[in-house]
Structure 1
Amino acid sequence: MWRNIASNFLTLSIVLLIALAGGIAWGKREYSGPGASALAQCVQVAQGASLNAVSNQLAEQGAISSAYIFRAGVDYQGLAGQLKYGSYLVQPDASMEDIAGVITEGGPSTCGTEVIFRIGVRANSVVLRDIDPETGTYEERVKYDPAAEPEPETIASAIQQPDARLRIAMAEGVTSWQVVNGLQAAAFMGGEVASVPAEGSLAPDTYEVSAGDDRAALLAEMGRRQEVILNQEWEARPFGLPYASIEEALIMASIVEKETGVPDEREMVASVFVNRLESGMRLQTDPTVIYGVTGGEGILDRGLRRSELDTPTPYNTYQIDGLPPTPIANPGRAAIRAALNPVETDFVFFVADGSGGHAFARTLEEHNANVARWREIEAQRGENTESPVQTDG
């Protein structure tokens, strides 16, 4: 009898082991195989949330097929204590293993609501966007001008959300005064700014921030990034450029940034100014004169007057030789690279061509013909918005 009992027990044990092994294999397939949702989903991990709470939440929204298998898999991988707070976009058919990787790796939130304070050349704006999980792209919901309108309640509420993503987006070509002025208008930032950073010293970029972050600390980060960019591009420059220092290269980059908004033109515009420096010609560029008039505090919302072009100032490149004493804006990496890598041309003139770009010329005769064409375009439009750049020979 005991022999029969032992035999039955052994058989039962083997069956149980086989069933257990099968169950484990099935669980692994469930954990690593295609996920439960055919649609992209926004997965949120609350501050301090437990693995149990997160797994139940994922199961409720249909992102995973089993909260138990998810917890077991995360435990097995040793990730149970590594949940990262935030909102994350999970792709269609993502496995439980994929989702575990996303919510434990962390990094900037890739899903949910974001509020962007954009510091622009002509104006600032605040934009509220939400991601569409099905397309994985952000859709603009609300936009307003903080200088002219009160803050919409939808944006104020979004900023208070614990998982909201806050960003400061600094455009290429803004002045340091404009950056400081913009940050002071960003109500979700904190701290005071003691002084305006040196012109050209801040890197145009998008910066992740949190509510209450210190404005001065963000300015310091902007300055650090610009220093890194400038040093990298300076070290990679070719020989023979007419710059006595890295600061002069930054000045030239700021002029290139303000002269053209066409990416493919930057190296060409830089070549014109380099050719002028090398030949002893004056730069004769309107943006430097404008900077001398405004001091970088806002924009000159009109054309330059003849008296302003004729009045000597340190920034009036119609009146002075060489470069102005400082940059006239904060240039981006592309403009810095263009100033340090101009194409080889014999162009020494350029003027607007009516398409948003410029017409380049080698001689004063060619340039005057280009200016005449531009004047015709202005007349047809009923405009007279721009002084012709490089009019003197």
Structure 2
Amino acid sequence: MPRRKGTVGRFWTKYNRMKRLLVLLIIILISSFLLTVWWVGTTQAPTNMAAVKRFVITKGASSSQIGNNLGEAGLVKSSLVFKFYVQLTGNSRRIQAGEYRIPQNLSLNRLISFLLQGPTELWVTIPEGIRREEIADKFVESLELSGTEATAFRNDFLQRSAAKEGYLFPDTYLFPRDASASAVVSLLTSTFDKKVDAKMRQDLDQKDIILSQAVIVASLLERETITDQERPVVAGILIKRWRAGWPLQVDASVQYALASAKCGQTVDCNWWPRPLTGDDLEINSPYNTYKFPGLPPAPIASPGISAINGVVYYEESPYWFYLHDEDGQIHYAETLDQHNANITRYLNK
């Protein structure tokens, strides 16, 4: 009898184990089925409508941000699934910033394939204080142009912007890959007209400064200053020297003259050569503000709104001179003797 009890016990133990395994298997199958149903449901197109939506991915956006924005735009059913899927497939870093025109009836897989084809419009960032040639290069790079296409765009841009130095407003823009130089110049100059509003122009008139003069000073200011706080003070110094008939002695204007003389239409050029030598300061150019008093004939770069505001709302001060030390700290002086002392103290260490 004990032996028969042991046999029965082992039977029931084995039976219970099989029962638990069967229950576990059923749970796994049901869970897998439900997960599959959920996955299929969340990766399907959010709508059958083929209408196209404009969708913008900003520079530096993470896959989470892109997924959240797609969800808000109604282009995916689950932003979480989008994030998981692009990370699982290794595509999170392959999606470019820019503007897309996305059909609303794309499944998740087709949507990601669509995004990987690249945007219809690309971000182009124009920093403050660069000249036309550098702006042209920024567009060639950002619009991914090459070969004859790049050369044609650059030449056309430089021709159309020949009289627009200083008025090609620095900002971040969206442009189609096939944007023409004409469209680019038009948008950059119209943006300048919007940013420099009627009130700023009226305030300039009250200070007896015309817009073209203000833009010239602002372009010098953009290259000469570092902080927003110092710009109105330096603008006041430059305007005071200009009106007094003094040479402005702005290094950036000499750099502009040197590069214009040496580089011509070349692509690879040091557009802001440093350090300046004694011979450099003797270059016979109307842009040489060491040799010729008054303003240069035109702007030397595209100033941002901070530099333009610095000129419009310049500060009067007792200073006639300024310099930056090696740490970028500005030092003002009322007299030439004080300025020379600052040179000895801060630059000739």
Into which bin does the TM-score normalised by the smaller protein fall?
Answer: 0.5 to 0.7
CA positional deviation for 1:83: 6.0
- Residue identity in the other structure for 2:238: F
Alpha carbons of structure 1 residues 90 and 308: separation in structure 2 relative to 1, 3 Å: closer
1:330, CA displacement in angstroms?
0.8
Aligned counterparts, 1:1-393, within 5 A: 59-60=41-42, 84-86=53-55, 102-103=73-74, 130=93, 161-163=117-119, 166-186=122-142, 188-189=144-145, 192=153, 193-196=155-158, 197=161, 198=163, 199-232=165-198, 234-237=200-203, 240-241=206-207, 243=209, 245-295=210-260, 297=263, 298-376=270-348, 379=349
Alpha carbons of structure 1 residues 181 and 366: separation in structure 2 relative to 1, 3 Å = same
Matched position secondary structure for 2:319: coil
Unaligned runs of 5+ in 2: 1-37, 58-62, 76-81, 84-91, 98-112, 264-269
Q: How many residues align?
A: 260
Shift of 1:270: 0.5
Q: Work out whether residues 84 and 103 of structure 1, in 8 Å CA contact, stay in contact via their aligned partners in 2.
A: no
SS in 1 for 2:174: strand
Deviation at residue 269 of structure 1 after TM alignment:
1.2
Write the distance in 1 (CA, Å) between the matches of 2:118 and 2:258. Answer: 44
Whichever residue aligns with residue 300 of structure 2, its letter is I
CA distance in 2, matches of 1:87, 1:311: 48
Relative to its length, the structure with more helix (as a share) is 2
Q: Could you tell me the TM-score, scaled by structure 2's length?
A: 0.62
The 8 Å contact of residues 249 and 336 in structure 1, kept in 2 or not, is answered as yes
Identical columns (%): 25
Amino acid across the alignment from 1:290: Q
Higher-Rg structure is 2
AA at the equivalent of 1:84: K
Quickly say closer, same or farther: Cα 1:57–1:316, change in 2 above 3 A. Answer: farther
Higher mean C-alpha displacement, 329-338 vs 308-317: 308-317
Counterpart CA distance in 2 for 1:160 and 1:343 is 51
Distance change in 2, residues 1:366/1:59 (3 Å): farther
> Which residues of structure 1 form unaligned runs of 5+?
1-55, 62-66, 105-110, 113-128, 133-137, 139-156, 380-393
More strand, by proportion:
1
Aligned CA distance change for structure 1 residues 239 and 81 (closer, same or farther; 3 Å): same
Per-residue CA deviation, residues 153-190 of structure 1 (Å, 9 max, x unaligned), is: xxxx9996245872111110110111123323445356
Rounded to whole Å, the distance in 2 between the matches of 1:275 and 1:58 is: 72
Q: Supply the distance in 2 between the matched residues of 1:184 and 1:87 (Cα, whole angstroms).
A: 21
Partners of 1:320 and 1:332 in 2: how far apart?
26
Residues 131 and 206 of structure 1, relative CA distance in 2, 3 Å threshold: farther
For residues 160 and 220 of structure 1, the distance between their equivalents in structure 2, rounded to whole angstroms, comes to: 30
TM-score by length of 1: 0.56
